[in-house]
Amino acid sequence: MEGSGFHVPGRRSMTAVVLGGSGFLGSHLCDALLARGQDVIAVDDLSTGRLQNIEHLPGNKSFKFIQADISIGLPDLGTPELILNFASPASPPAYLSMPIHTMRTGSLGTMHALELASKANARFIMASTSEIYGDPLEHPQTESYWGNVNPVGVRSCYDEAKRFAESLTFAYQRERGTNTGIVRIFNTYGPRLDPTDGRVVSNFIMAALHNQPLNIYGDGSQTRSLCYVSDLVDGILRMADSKIAGPINLGNPNEMTVLQLAQRIIDLTRSQSTINFQSSLPDDPQQRNPDITLAKSKLDWFPHTDLDTGLQSTVQWMTTMEQNNDK
């Protein structure tokens, strides 16, 4: 294929670049884009992404993987039509362990990606986050809400990197006319979620599978809204196919407490686990619930996977992975 370094004879298909392509979300995006007949280049520095997530793809002639740190610069990616920037540590343990790298990726990495999008006249999708809203005082959170964020707290490396990336994305749109779109992603779960990444779903499932206590930080009354990964990918691709600048919230509006989630996972796994309450974490949001009115009206998008179905699929994947690791 012209400009990309690989091709399928007899046709020129659209090329999509997925930055962070071996991560949880990025790898699912690679699958979905390939299923649509697109050629895909995945770029990842493997700081948090895992080759295991894309091990089924190297035999696909329409897929190419490049290991690179986008905060240093981009490899030669030709002239893609679509760039999806999902490169960043995303779980609290990951970004708290590498705060400088997280901020470099969100700032310099995003700038390098936007430079390519501008030169290639590509559609650029920036993966932002519900962390933009911090510990919100408005419920549910609309895109017009500016948030309640601690700019120097321990979690600020991730929050502020994403806020800067959003601002930079709009700067390129306004000054250069770059075709950009921003999605604000709320809590997402599903197969390929790293079982050791410290997020609430993976923490609870892994503890339940081993009949260990499920640790809740605080009294468990804090809420989360969980979106299954295939629903989220559908929303991202609808955004990519549009000309909408956003930002647009993507998440499941069905809110539940962390305590309710813990009990649900114990029941689904038929675990003997107990619940262990610990001290609250710094700057941990007490409520997280997306207003997805814009996603419904502009993208005709709504998540359809019910929680039990999604959790069962995730539990099955983690169980299989554990069994394979024990062999």
**Per-residue model confidence as pLDDT tens digits over 279-315:** 877 767 778 899 999 999 999 999 999 999 999 999 9
Which residue, chain included where needed, has tokens 């991560």?
23
pLDDT at 198: 81
pLDDT at 326: 63
Dist. CA 126–CA 122, nearest whole Å: 13
Q: Is 2 exposed, middle or buried (0-12, 13-18, 19+ CB in 10 A)?
A: exposed
Dist. CA 84–CA 31, nearest whole Å: 13
Residues marked as catalytic: 158
Which residue, chain included where needed, has tokens 């995945």?
42
Give the list of residues 6+ apart from residue 170 with CB closer than 8 angstroms, or none: 180, 182, 245
Helix (H) or strand (E) segment spanning residue 66: strand 63-67
pLDDT at 2: 30
Mean pLDDT of 32-40: 97
Position 290, amino acid: P
**Per-residue model confidence as pLDDT tens digits over 158-180:** 999 999 999 999 999 999 999 99
Range in 20-24, 183-187, 262-266, 275-279 with the lowest mean pLDDT: 275-279
Give the list of residues 6+ apart from residue 210 with CB closer than 8 angstroms, or none: none
Give yes or no for a contact between 245 and 182, defined as CB atoms under 8 angstroms apart. Answer: yes
Dist. CA 130–CA 251, nearest whole Å: 9
Which residue, chain included where needed, has tokens 């948090």?
48
pTM beyond 0.85: the answer is yes
Mean pLDDT of 131-135: 92
Asked whether residue 4 carries a pLDDT value surpassing 90, the answer given is: no
pLDDT at 283: 67
Asked whether residue 7 carries a pLDDT value surpassing 80, the answer given is: no
Asked whether residue 195 carries a pLDDT value surpassing 90, the answer given is: no
For 279, list phi and psi in degrees, rounded to 5.
-60, 145
- The highest-level CATH class for domain 15-189+227-253+287-304 is alpha beta
User: Would you state the structure tokens that stand for residue 52, as one six-digit string?
Assistant: 């295991």
For 295, list phi and psi in degrees, rounded to 5.
-60, -40
To the nearest whole number, what is the mean pLDDT of the chain?
Answer: 92
pLDDT at 327: 58
Asked whether residue 124 carries a pLDDT value surpassing 60, the answer given is: yes
